[in-house]
Amino acid sequence: MRNIKMTIEYDGGRYLGWQRLSDSDKTIQGKIENVLSAMTGDKIEIIGSGRTDAGAHANGQVANFKTIATMEFPAMLDHLNRYLPRDIIVKKLEEVPERFHARYNANGKKYSYYVWNNPVPSVFERNFSYDYPGELDIAKMNEACNKLVGKHDFIGFSSLKKSKKSTVRTIDEIKIQKEGDLLHFTFTGEGFLYKMIRIIMGTIIEIGLGMTEPEAIDAIFKSGIRSDAGMTVPSQGLFLDEVYYD
């Protein structure tokens, strides 16, 4: 049995997210599984490194699947990209050991979030960023980011209910770069809770605007209450850039 690792790029704008639902045609996983199943003649299930939200994008999502198909990689890649919709591309295929599992073996991820910080929107960026024209204090936002980096219980920055599963995560780095009118936020860490990056972004933006101070971060860690944090920013600015494996 071959175990095949895929690196996948998608514009998530038209989809209900990564994870297959009963209506497989509206998810990235569903689209890829359908093409793989038709290609191999077997019902293929793929294991993604994790879900991405409805409307969110990826430059480097990773998934794996097992197959007895003997097709070689160049032909398989051609076939996939010919039959996948234009907004999903498999960038790379690699043979991996049978025990490789795209979710269990992932030991880190990098995400980007883009804010278009100009009162006039951009035709080319508007589907891939959050239009936020307000004046943002980058120094204050960096201060907030420094407080977020490290090992913390991020329950207040997630839409999860209290549960037995740990909500402690470690963020290794948050970077803010100004690229013309785009503000590019990069998050690197071992893993992120459901909606965590979008809620962190909403909180950082409120701090950048001066609505609250960077110290608000400490208070949210302390209370663990979702409503103490900022809004959930739209998914269209979010990209899964990379998944790390040993």
Among 43, 86, 161, 165, interactor with a second copy by CB under 8 A: 86
Among 65, 114, 128, 130, interactor with a second copy by CB under 8 A: 128
Least separation in angstroms between residue 223's CB and a second copy is 39
Strands 47-48 vs 57-67: parallel, antiparallel or unpaired: antiparallel
Beta-carbon count within 10 A of 208 CB: 25
For a second copy, which stretch binds (CB under 8 A), given 123-131, 170-178, 212-220, 228-236? 123-131
Contact criterion met (CB below 8 Å) for 15 and 76:
no
124 makes contact with a second copy (CB under 8 A): yes
120 makes contact with a second copy (CB under 8 A): yes
Least separation in angstroms between residue 17's CB and a second copy is 16
Beta-carbon count within 10 A of 26 CB: 15
Strands 57-67 vs 238-244: parallel, antiparallel or unpaired: parallel
Q: What are phi and psi of 22, to 5 degrees?
A: -60, -35
Q: Which of 162, 205, 210 is nearest to 154 (CA)?
A: 162
For a second copy, which stretch binds (CB under 8 A), given 15-23, 29-37, 117-125, 190-198? 117-125
Contact criterion met (CB below 8 Å) for 85 and 15:
no
Among 14, 92, 178, 222, interactor with a second copy by CB under 8 A: 92
Instruction: Out of 42, 53, 181, 218, pick the active-site residue.
Output: 53
114 makes contact with a second copy (CB under 8 A): no
Q: Please tell me whether 111 is known to bind a ligand.
A: yes
Burial class (CB in 10 A: 0-12, 13-18, 19+), 127: middle
Q: Specify whether 53 is catalytic.
A: yes
175 makes contact with a second copy (CB under 8 A): no
* Residues found near a second copy in the complex (CB under 8 A): 9-11, 57, 77, 81, 86-92, 120-124, 126, 128
Query: Looking at the annotation, which residues are catalytic?
Result: 53
Please enumerate, by residue number, every residue annotated as part of a binding site.
111
